[in-house]
Amino acid sequence: MPLDAATLARHCGGELRLADQLCRRELSLFKSAAATGTSITVACTQEAPLFSEVAEELNAAERVGFANVREYAGWSKDAAAAGPKMAALLAAAAEPMPSVSLISFESKGVALIYGRDESAVDAAARLADHLDVTVLLREPGALAPRHANEFPVLQGTIVSAKGHLGAFELRIDDYAVPAPSSRSRLVFGPARDGATSHCDLIVDLSGGTPLFTAHELRSGYLRADPRDAAAVERTLFEASHLVGEFDKPRFIDFRAELCAHSRSRITGCTRCLDVCPTGAISPAGNHVAIDPYICAGCGSCAALCPTGAEEYALPSADSLMRRLRTLILSYREAGGRDAVVLFHDGDHGEPLIDALARFSDGLPANLLPVRVNEVTQVGLEAIAALFAYGAVGVRFLTRARPKHDLAALVRTVALAQSIAEALGYGAPGGAAIVDLIQTDDPDSLAAALAGLSLGIAAANPASFMPRGPKRGVLEFALRELHLAAPQPVDLVPLAPGTPFGGLEINVEGCTLCLSCVSVCPTHALSDNAERPMLRFTESLCVQCGLCAATCPERVISLKPQIDFAAWEAPSRVVKEEEPFHCVECGKAFGTRSSIERVIAKLQNRHWMFSGGAGQNRVRVLMMCEDCRVQAVANESFDPHLGPQRPKVRMSEDYFVERAQENATTPGAPEAHDRLPNS
């Protein structure tokens, strides 16, 4: 492949050293570089195992990274023009990535084989030498007893399952044990419901409905169609190796204090609950809880979380964006134009790109591939930053039949497209500049890349350095996107459900009770300690809806939008009133309108606030909470000292009155022993 050494040396982000056979006869060059103690980027991923082994011997493994410039850039029909792209790939690969914490599974090899016939028993026999096996048969037919019972064979139907590798818990109905005296066929004893079972892994050969949603992502749950012999073989091989301790990354960093799920038992934001494919997220009071053992790392929750309570850790949002910043800025400084970023994963995207490079025309010179753990982890902040930095398009390469649900990614792409179009970044004719490429075929990928629609580049590209928590990074990226926009506008209307917007408040109906302030998780709504006041900061609002649901007067409604002018303005005073001062000590409490409204409704209209004594009680309403207690205690107000209640009348009272009336009225009819008509 052709190398533009001059361009690479100027823009690769470090000192450039060239070699022809670095992994063979020139391996000493790598060893000498590793001995310097500095960070090294090797522009070859094919021989990464060799270089990693050598670096391990030299105690330099943590200082060595890799960049794929051959399949990504050099093996292409545009290779001669790919110098800026190669420089950008090398510079981005040198960006440090923070370490990720791990969680551990422990499996002791206790396995449950769930099936319906002899195939489950045969599978158990093959695994018995590796695992502690139990067979559970759902509605078994005629099944011959085994010559020796090396493992239990039971009857039962799994009605619920929860857990993960090393910690499954099952509830089983129709549970029964076979009689040891079974002769030609297994005869099961009396069945019972509600049995429980614990195991480390489950091999499901029942051919029925999976026990878990997104079952292929549940660690320790292996499922195969019993009619597919090859699938069964793969499943048994995998199961035989699930004994011991296993590590996986903690994909999500969660900060409960930022979560906007609920307040005062009123549900607000449910975005993560709606998109989690594995059920790893569940309500837990005012916030949600994430089970890291069940989380499969799709990152959809973090991509949609409006407050930054959930942040993807492989890598974090600001780490990924720093790499994207280096990629675009290096490409631009090296003379590259019309950059389009392609997000892809390693399991699916890399093989497609490799096939395109080896057997076809390769990637275009302006297409910058970025490998991420899962494409569904990419949020709006990354897309907004890319356009602010000068990119003209963003694509996501996904499977034709995705492993993870793409609903969250589709929402993110649609939101990014609408914002970019509103600010003038859109392509001529309204073509998508942010889109998905869903294919498993390299030729289809090549066709999609050949017809890329390019948007309009930023008039004054940004160069900001993203740092800090996710929500702050997102806000800053959008502000920079607005400042660099080809056709900036201050107001961008958005669809309902987006995490930005304002509030429409009926000021006349608002009583300044401030219940909305108490439930606002982001402090977008605030009060004033000195006087009755309601303030609103639009840049902090995540449209969770808790304020509208809590407001007793129902005067608040959501208004999804991005108002950049409001973002730059200080907190807006929504309503302000004169405070009412205590008639005893002068302390300000409540609002004058509220106190006067209460007095007007009670004075001379209720027995407690009528007459001479009632006026004293009216005065108590004008006191603060401290003076009110003293007044009630000192004047011995009795809340039960009210007007005499009407005497309860019984049937006998009516009979007596009727008799008295008859006695005083000549010729009146006699009273009868019944109640009078009413």
Helix/strand/coil for 389: helix
Please list, in sequence order, all residues whose beta carbon lies within 8 angstroms of the beta carbon of residue 427, skipping any fewer than 6 positions away: 393, 433, 453, 454, 455, 456
Point out which residues pair with 266 in neighbouring strands: 263
Could you identify the residue written with the tokens 């930053």? 385
Query: What is the rounded CA–CA span in Å between residue 274 and residue 281?
Result: 9
Provide the token pair at 251: 């994909």
Q: Return d(Cα 66, Cα 162) in angstroms, integer.
A: 40
What does 419-487 look like in DSSP terms, one character per residue?
A: HHHHTT-PPGGG--SEEEEE-S-HHHHHHHHHT----PPPSS-------S-HHHHHHHHHHHHHHT-SS
Mean pLDDT by 10 residues, the chain (678 residues): 91 90 94 93 95 95 94 96 96 90 96 95 95 94 87 96 97 95 91 96 96 95 96 96 96 96 94 95 96 96 96 91 96 96 97 97 97 96 97 97 93 97 93 96 95 92 92 95 96 95 94 93 92 93 96 96 95 90 85 81 76 76 87 69 71 86 67 46
Q: Tell me the C-alpha to C-alpha distance, in Å, between residue 404 and each of 205, 276, 307, 341, 401.
A: 23, 9, 23, 21, 9
- pLDDT recorded at residue 671: 46
Burial of residue 633, with CB atoms counted within 10 A of its CB: 0-12 exposed, 13-18 middle, 19 or more buried: exposed
pTM of the prediction? 0.87
What beta strand segments (E) does 67-165 contain?
Answer: 102-107, 110-115, 132-137, 153-164
pLDDT at res. 676: 46
Instruction: Give residue 667's pLDDT.
Output: 60
- Residue 651 has a pLDDT of 87
Q: Give the closest residue to 75 by CA, choosing from 447, 387, 362, 497.
A: 362
Q: Using alpha carbons only, what angle is made at residue 393 by residues 390 and 395, rounded to the nearest 5 degrees?
A: 135
**Greatest C-alpha distance within the chain:** 139
- pLDDT on residue 632: 79
Give the tokens for residue 608: 């407690």
pLDDT for 245: 96
What is the spatial distance between Cα 66 and Cα 94, in angstroms, rounded to a whole number?
8
Model confidence over 534-583: pLDDT tens digits?
999 999 999 999 999 999 999 999 999 999 999 999 899 999 988 888 98
Give the pLDDT of residue 607: 65
Q: Prior bond to 315 cis, omega within 30?
A: yes
DSSP notation for 526-561: E--SSSSEEEE-GGG-----HHHHH-TT--EEEEEE
Residue linked to tokens 């009680």: 617
Domains, the chain, in order of start with CATH, read 5-98+315-472 (no CATH), 104-247 (3.50.50.60), 250-312 (3.30.70.20), 501-576 (3.30.70.3270), 579-635 (no CATH), 648-678 (no CATH)
Residue among 303, 304, 310 nearest 258 (CA): 310
Can you state the angle between helices 470-483 and 407-422, rounded to 10 degrees? 30
| Predicted pLDDT at 609 | 75
What is the secondary structure of 163-183 as a DSSP string?
EETTEEEEEEEEEE-B-TT--
CB–CB of 324/331 below 8 Å? Answer: no
